[in-house]
Structure 1
Amino acid sequence: MTQEFRTDSSGKAEVTLSWTPQQSDLHRPVPVCFTAETSQTQSELRCVVVKVTQSSFTQGKAHVQCSPNKMTVILEKSSMPDIDENFLKLKDPTCSLTSNGTHIMGTISFSTCGTELQDRGDYIAFRNEIYSFERPDEIIVRRRKVQIDFSCEFPKTISISSYYNLHQSDYIFTESSFGSFGYSFEIFNDSSFVKKVEADAYPVQVNLLEMIYMGIEANSDLPNVTLFVESCKGTPDDNPENPLSYEFIQNGCVKDETMKTHSSDQTSFKFEIQAFKFNGDYDQVYITCSVILCEPGSPFSRCAQGCLNTPSRRRRRGLSKETTGHYITQGPLQFVGLADPSAAKTKENNVVIKTKSDAETRSGGTWGFKVFTSNITTVVFGVGFIASLVLLAVIVRHFTRRRREEDRNVLIDSDSEN
């Protein structure tokens, strides 16, 4: 038996006891007794009774490798006898594991596969778990249950952004037939798709009617894979299942008249679309796309099918080697005002995204000069309008007086004749 004793500045103490029960301890109650002492007092003796039982869960041995934006877990098969690796899954069942003769492995991004972000005082942790599952049509099972928690922990005193991209640029998945593969989803400054918007510029500030440039790139250890974007939609938050959404790519077909795709290689997808927002009190939009990787040369793959105006034409995945569809999200885009409609029609317009620093400069400089010029124009127009009214009044008065004099002369002539 080993013990670990810890105290803090507030006087709180914590003791951790560890031991390995033997078969003879099974179902036997074991009392653990203790007292608390200070320099002046001592508590009464207190006991906690621990009963050793046999768990239905197998505690396997795992090794975790932590990287800047992902973690890799490696399980020893020898520590989990009678375990069927085909019935293991992560918190997100769409993410799967790979294996060889001695180990079961999985690579998980900090932003996918159900990974949770936890606050642990001076540390933050990214946690996931591997556990066994049963098919609903099974009446009996002879597989043992497995539950293995694993996590990567980082101190808060360091720059978190060096470990984790808060705007969720990189996504990593694992599937048995494809191994580990990933996607990067970025927003770019212009149609050259060279300079991406950096993480510290999020949320990205944009104007309505401006063109937004985005790109998706796939990374895989398998050669010559093909990327296919099956759907893309905008939502007012980062929940892709939000019923309030606008789908601009559906079943591989472009549905928005302002959207334009750019030529790229088979593992990239680049597009531009005019900025839009949702009706109501919403000032942000997240973009979520469903992406698939396919093996090359398969005429039955989803990638080979392309746009499907009739979804019933879809075939079963078993006929070709491809991944399941995975959601990747980027954003938010935050709206700061309306743009000039004529500028939006010019495709060569490269000023499409305003970062925070660009927006802040509107408080002075050229922006202030434009406002001042606009005010002068308004004043000049007002003075001219008033002057016109005065001139019109003078003319009317002149002709009125002249008419009165003519009428008066006519009356005088009439009296003299009489």
Structure 2
Amino acid sequence: DTPAPSCEEGLYLPEFLPPTPLNGARLHAEVNREVEIRVRARASHATIQDIVISGPLNITKQRNTHGEFVIRWTPIQDDLGDFFPICFAVEAVTWRAGTATTHHHSHNHHATPSPQSGVYQSEMRCVLVEVRRVQVNSHVICTESTMRVEVEKSSFAGLHEDHLRLNDGANTACRLHSNSTYVFADIPLSGCGTEIEEDGNNLRFKNEITTFDNRADVITRKHLLEVQFYCQYPKRGNATLAFTAHRPIVSVWDRSFGRFTYQFEFYPNDQYQAMIDPTSYPVVYEIGSRVYMQIEATSSVNNTVLFVESCRASPYDNQNSQRTYSIIENGCNVDPTVQIHSPSHPRQFRFSMKTFKFIGMHDQVYISCTVLMCEAGEPNTRFSEGCISSTTPATSPHNHHRRKREVAVESARHFVSQGPLRLKRSAESNESSALHLNLNLVFI
């Protein structure tokens, strides 16, 4: 790599910022629970690009939309009692003349990013993770719009549930409850102080149970228990949920599963009042008439938005069909007759197009779409990028430095499909006499 113009940290060489752990920090983890290390860095004269990590075999890294890198690792039973070093360095790049492109909803054209001119590494930091036995027994149940967290009372002896609270302790609807065995709470994904975080693959809704002295206080001197938990929903595919329970410094996660669900329906017109009754399928249209469709995420979470990445038509109810016709690709309208209609909330997508038939002996058309859930109002999400033209390179040009990079693994896409649309044959739409119709059929 070329020499850095300056060796002062924070200019070209990335400078670490909180909450990055200090070099040599001792962290604690628990068996079968995820430990999370958050890394943030800045460089005023370069663009933070990547993080290079070393550690145990099943370690992962992600970058979220807030600009933090998150390193995650889950120890197994064989790791109990051992110590594991995890090391990391952040990389920044500068570009030759020109600037990298940003995407906007309203534009289909983009400039090509300029080649890299320099790659600059931060200092390397290493932390030491000690794997311990599980200290707090807990689990979580998640749905499309809520998290239920349960912590066994016997695992935090000496602490009374009256001294535990969620992030939002002032709201009476967010109080913790208890029975003889558990302290528990039912928390909406969009309330009780729940925070949302997004990376390339997942949405996470985070909250925690902490100790307090008086409910109105913003500080505590009884920092004996901190139970952080989150529900994790892959943006493309099934939803995953996770939970953490830990003493100070320990950061571990317990997992459970759930999902967002999507409904794909036909409507008779652009008013979208009542959907077409599913018992009337296949829906019959004349070629060239307009068909109205709506995709809706059934989750009631109000700080998320639905993004429809692609929609394709096929003569068969099979998303891997060889014979497909693109309607929407990479967020861009491909079919010239597509119209987007105003939704009633951000988790709806309404569109229409003129009907067509596949050439040959195919009367029916199935439509399948790839959908994502994104964090609302954030600038770095797939929703905010909008339409990305197929002429835009997805990544910057490779050079000798990029060959050693890990390939980012994207979670499975979530398909929704609906159909079939059946098209009236020409004889069916002919309004001539019954005799004429019968003669046509005999001739055919």
How does the TM-score come out when normalised to structure 1? 0.39
In our comparison, the structure showing a higher alpha carbon Rg is: 1
More RCO (CA 8 Å, sep 6+): 2
